Every structure is written in structure tokens, then in C-alpha cells.
Chain A
Amino acid sequence: MPPASPIAPADAARAAIDRHHANPLELLQVLREVQEDCGWIPPQAIDRIESGLRLPRNKIEGVASFYAFLSTKPAGRYRVRFSNNITDRMLGAKALMDRLCRSLWVERGKVSEDGLVGIDTTSCTGLCDQGPAMLVNEGRAIGHLKEARIDQIAELIRGEVALADWPPELFRVEDNIRRRELLLAEPPAPGEAIDAAIVRGPGSMLDEVKASRLRGRGGAGFFTGVKWEACRRAAGRTRFVVCNADEGEPGNFKDRVLLATRADLVIEGMTVAAFVVGAKRGFIYLRAEYRFLLPVLEAALARRRAAGLLGEAIRGVAGFDFDVAIHVGAGAYVCGEESALIESLEGKRGTPRNRPPYPVTNGYLGEPTIVNNVETFASSAIVAIRGGAWYAAIGTPVSSGTKVVCISGDCERPGVYEYPFGFRVSEALADCGARSPQAVQVSGPSGYCLAASEFERRIEFEDLPTAGALMVFREGRDMFQVARNFVHFFAHESCGFCTPCRVGTQLLRRLMDKLANGHGSPYDFAEIERLNGHLHALSHCGLGQTACNPVLHTIAKFRPAYDRRLEHDEFRPAFDLDRALLAARQMTGRDDEAAHLAQEPEEETP
């Protein structure tokens, strides 16, 4: 049966508003639910939200247009988004997307004339170990795409089969856990960490976290104990604990696996944090791409409420009240930045705030808030059970404990690996069965690109801090196209708040495209280096500050990939008359020789 919008937009909006008690802070959740029910956000729904949440219409439109998974125009009854991460591309995502487009008679980025389907790319969906991957209708992920699977999906869409009736094996997401230490070992019983924290008391529990020297696992590596202490000491009417599950850095998927398999441990860590800082409410900010984990997490929360591990007087301790709500994102990498994440939690556009003040003193609703990564919370639960000194003995003196990394790209066994800190990249490459690797991208596009001579370096805060991603590139991969893919990513994900990032990432994208199109000269190299200086010095947040990293690293280490594109010694303009006629050729359906002005080879987008 066709899934053609069974719910009237105004009714969908009214129901969403009711579910969120007409709370304007829940604007993003209301919009997301309308998107799910209607397939887009029709004007009649916005009318309803305007009156129901008492918000100016342009604020609603401003929020709706910020997030990639919310559409203010009809986007197709089926919305298909192919993951555009380099690992998906290397596995043939582009050809598969073209195949689906041809099969369904739709152009990429457009909606078919009958409104049936829209097909486009999206930023990394976090299924790099089982790519190429796609999302259907925002919330459903499909990995292991092959031609046969694409044809099957085309058939299902053409037949207008409701998503609920698609074969469930399409939506199976694998965990691919390959190496286990603390977090991925046999999990402790629910409540064990909370009980240990209660026995210690909040002050002593904090001392244990400090003694553990646990540092943030999202990549920045701030000391968890210091963060918790600052929040505990900050003046406020109330406090909040936020779990950052907006794992958007391309190549990262370890938080997906932790949430899917260790939800209790993560929520337990949040509860311990709440006990230490005195928070009553917590949030899990779940990235939109992991919407399929929402039922798993809701079930874990319900189970814990029933077991007295969440709610009022946890474990019978008077005043130890804490509960967690899940906030699902809507497609914005920048919301992984903690202050942008808080803005998004408050139902706003995900723009990073001016800092200071920092979230530990002025976070959600201006109150003291700790924001920690999924893995950090899971680790802090282990610290609560085993104690700070025990934990600090694992890893290295500066980097205590373990790190969960996620390996993808050119290797035999992509997946999730947990090591004590201080392991060499070469060790991970051997474990995953890397195929003659020439480069490894550590942590994602904003991290480091290592050449083979650097594979003996170590994953630890002293050397290579990482959010977790190790993307492997074998000999023969074009590292220029890798960098270009990352540059396109940053340009797509810039929030647009500050001038240097909004415009600078576009300028950088154009320069890389210019090189790819054979118009490059040494002048453009100088321009790229100059732009890097400006982006690094002037950008509002880490997105812009690191956007040039992939280019700088690959220029330094894989220069021949660039040199072979320097077809000119002197400056050439980027403008290409023949390319400018592309639209005219498409409109007239011509591609004969007379419809071209020059014959320059066109390179594939990475």
C-alpha cells in the first residue's frame, strides 16, 4: 500500500506539539516528528506550530532550514540519502547512486516529477564498516549496498511498499566488535557503578574520577574530573548532564556500537555524573543518522526506570533524583561542538556560542551543564566500579584507560577495536588486515593524515589524540581526492555563522575543484596556504579552524598527487567556458561535438 501522507500536516503538528507539552524548547523535536509523519514540513504544519508553540514563524523556518534532514519543500515520499564519506565512495557509492537514479528516473538532488522519490548524498552516516550505506526517510539505515540490493530497493520504491514492510534484513546494522578490553568486555550488572558511587559519596566519587585522569573521548581530551568539578562548583538553580552522541566526524562509528551494545553502561555513567554534580535532568543528543537506535535507548531508559536506576530517590537515596530524555538531531555535524549542541537542545539553530562562558557554568538554559562523549560516560562508570587508581594504571601516564577506535577503508576486518591507550597505528593496521596501506586518516577530516613512515606513532594524547576513526587508504588511492572529499564535507557542514568559515570553506572547495578540473597552478597552492592561515586564525569554532587540515597534510605528504594536477606554471582562471555550457547542453539534450567549446577531461567527484 502506498504510504502517501496519511496524516494531515496540521494534525501531525498538533500531535507533536501535544507530545512535547507545547514547550517551545522542543521546537526541533516537533519539526523532526512532523518531518517523519509528513515527509516534509508543509506550511500548514508551520501555521500550527506558530500558534501552538507561540514562536515567530521566521524562527521556525530558520530552524527548519538549518538542519539537513528537515525539508520545507516536498522532498519525495521516499527520501534516499547516500553516505558521501570517502570510505563509502571508495566502495562504489557513486556508481550505485547513479544506478538508483537511472532506475527511478530521477536526477540526483531533485525530486521525481511524480513526487515519489528524492535521491541525494549526505555526510558520513557512520556505517563505514559496512558501506556503501544509505538512509531512507531520515531514520532508517541500509548498509552493504550492492547492485542487487539497489535494484531491490528501486523495486520497493517503485511499488510504493511502506517502509515497515521492507525486508527487515535490509535494515540490519552490524556491530563488528573485533577487540575488547574494558568497555566492550562483559558488561557490569546495571546499578553496580551507581551503588559504588553512592557508597563513596559525591565528593569522593569526584576524587576517584580525578584520580583516574580520565579524559574526554570525543577528541579534545579535556580532563573529565576537572569538568565535573567546575560544574559542581558553579552557581546555578539546577544542573544538567548531557551525553554527546552526535558522532558526526566522518569515519567515526564507535559511539553507534557503544549505544547499541552498552547503553546501560553509558546511562550509568551519566547517572554517576549527575550524582557528583547534583543534576536532576540529563539528555542524550542522538545524531539523526542513528535514529534507528532510538527504540533501543528508550527501552534501556524504561528498563532502568522500572529497576529504580532512574527517577526519584535512585537506589533509595533521598534526593538522588535523575532522569534522561533523548533528543534526536536533524543532520548537522556542527552540533557535535558542545555549545552548538546545547543551542540545538534548546530548539535553536545549531550555532556555536561565544565562549567564555563555557557550558560548565552557563550551559543548557544558562545553567551549569556537563557535556561528555558517549565513551567518556561509559568509561566513568568503569571508574566508579573499579576506582581511580585502578583505572589510571591502564594505558600510559598521560592517557589513562582504553580507547575504542573504529577502523574502515582498505582493510579485511573493518569494525570496532578497543585498546589500552598508547598502541601503535601499525598494531591496529595489522589487526584489521590493512591492505598495503599508504595513508591513515586519524580521527576524521579534522584530524591527521599519516603517511606510512608515521605508522609507528601512537594513539594517545601525548602523540595522536583521536575521536576514534582510523580510515585506511591503500597504495594507489588518490590522496588528493581524499582531501577534496573532506573539503567538500566542511563546506557542506559549515553553520554559516562566521565569515571566515562560511565563505572560506567555499573558497577552499572551489580551489580544490579548480585543481581537480585541471586549471591549477602554483598560485593556487599559495592561495590554499593563505586561506588556511585565515580559517585557522579567524574562525569561530573548530570546524573552520581545522577545515584546511586535510589539504595541508596531504600536500605535505602526498605532493605528487597534487603535482600531477598542476598543468600550468602560471595562473589560470577557474572559469571554464565549456563547463559553463553544461546546463545548456542538459536542457537541449545535446552532447555532440558542436555543443562543446573545448575538450578538457572532467574528473569525477571523489
Chain B
Amino acid sequence: MSESFLLDGRPIAFTAGQTILQAAVAAGAYIPHLCFHPAFKPHGSCKVCTVHVEGHPRASCTTLAADGMEVESDSPAVNAERLALVQMLFVEGNHFCPSCEKCGDCKLQATAVDLGMDSAHFDHFYPDRPVDASHPELLLDFNRCILCSLCVRASRDVDGKSVFALAGRGIGTRLIVNAASGRLADTNIASDDRAVHVCPVGAILPKRRGFAVPIGARVFDLKPISAVADPSAAIEAR
């Protein structure tokens, strides 16, 4: 007998040690998330995957599943909290979806659409974040970085390079690269590194490929993110 919990009333089987979100993704059930990726250890920072477990808010990516647990996810109350988080991420950075090469393949944008976000609600911070176009094959656009640290984890744990790290504190938290110059061109990153492809937004982009797939034919143009089985894998495959 495998153990299971109830996600909005639907039984989800899990194995010992799996978190709620890990089990949900494995079962093909959707819980909104941004800093989580099934291939990586849960990080628990974006909090967009927050669910209510027996009435208490919990980050589903880091909360262990338990037999018989009742998890509320797709409800107006929980989605309202997620919407506020996504709006916070929008005002914190500079996200101009129509002019972004990642438009249609971006988990932040797709999650916002799926949650019915029609405005950023809060006042924009308009931070000053220069881009790093130094690398011949890759562009780093910090304006779009949501500090999920997937590239940090991928570069360190998969690529074995530690090209990326978080620096600063609080609202000054920012992504930095491993070079005395601070420039991506002076790191040992390669365009086939996992860290390049794991970005859920348009912060790390291969150059000269922006519109190889036209807008309108991209992953989340075709289906809402909630209907894509493994959105992390789907955009990575692009």
C-alpha cells in the first residue's frame, strides 16, 4: 500500500521523503511554483508554491508529504496569496513581457496569466540593473532575474563550476558571476551548461536565437502553464 495525501480532494501517492510539490509534479498535478525544479533540491524561497496544509500556509516544495494530509491549493484564498507574490516579483524587477525574448516560454509570465493577474497592483520599484552582454554567446539580463537561484544550484551541483552566486542582502540581493571583473565573458560558462537553460525567466539567454520559435507558438502560448505536465522540462527543452 503506497501512502497518499489529498490535493484539493484528489489523492496523490508519494514515497517517503518526497515533499508535497515533488509528489504532485510526479503525479502530473499542478501547483504553481517558480524557484522549484524537479531535478533540483527544493529551495523554498519564492513561496509561490505555498499551499494550506490543515489550514496553515506552507511552502509545498519543502514540506514533506504525510499520509492522509489534506492540502488546499487551487482555491481563491491560496491563489490570492500567490498572486500577491507574483505581483511583488513583477514590481521588484523590470519585466517588459512584450519585448522579452522569453515571452511565451517564461514561467513568471505564464504563472501570472494563469493566476489572472491583470496589473502589478503595487508601485514599481524600477531598479537600475545594467545588463551583461559581454559573453559572445550568452546574455545576462538582471532586470528579469527573480533570484530563484536555479542557475546557482545548476552551475554548482550539475556543471561543477559555481559560475553564479547570490550577493547583497534584502532588496539589494542580486545575482553575481564568478569573475574578478564581474563579467560573464570572464567566467568559464559554456552555452550548453545546465545553468544556462534552467532559468525560468529571461535572465540568462542564448544570443541570436530569440525568435527562432515565433511568438504565438511557444510553450505557454499553446497551453496554460497549469496544463503543461512538467513546465520546467518543457521550457528547458526549448
Contacts and interface: CB of A to CB of B under 8 A. Distances in A.
A575 B125 CA distance: 12
B199 interface: no
Given A58-B164, A58-B177, A65-B168, A498 B123 contact: no
Nearest to B179: A57
B165 interface: yes
18 contacts: A46-B180, A58-B167, A61-B176, A65-B168, A65-B172, A495-B169, A496-B166, A496-B170, A498-B45, A498-B46, A502-B92, A503-B89, A506-B171, A507-B88, A534-B81, A538-B50, A538-B85, A540-B47
Given A500-B47, A503-B88, A504-B88, A492 B81 contact: no
B134 to A, nearest CB: 15
B225 interface: no
Contacts of B215: none
Interface in A27-58: 43, 46-47, 56-58
A43 B168 CA distance: 17
A540 B45 contact: yes
B204 to A, nearest CB: 15
B154 interface: no
Contacts of B171: 491, 494, 496, 502-503, 505-506
A453 interface: no
B178 A57 contact: yes
A458 interface: no
A574 interface: yes
A204 B178 CA distance: 53
Contacts of B11: none
B180 A43 contact: yes
Contact of A62 (B47, B81, B91, B167): B167
Contacts of A494: 169-171
Interface string A535-547: 0011110000000
A495 B170 contact: yes
Interface of A: 43, 46-47, 56-59, 61-62, 65-68, 332, 349, 354, 356, 491-500, 502-507, 510, 530, 534, 537-540, 573-575
Interface residues of B, number: 39
B173 interface: yes
Interface in B8-50: 42, 44-48, 50
Nearest to A332: B169
Interface in B163-206: 163-173, 176-180
A510 B123 contact: yes
Given A502-B173, A503-B91, A497 B168 contact: no
Name which of B122, B166, B167 has the most chain A CB atoms within 10 A of its CB: B167
Contacts of B91: 503
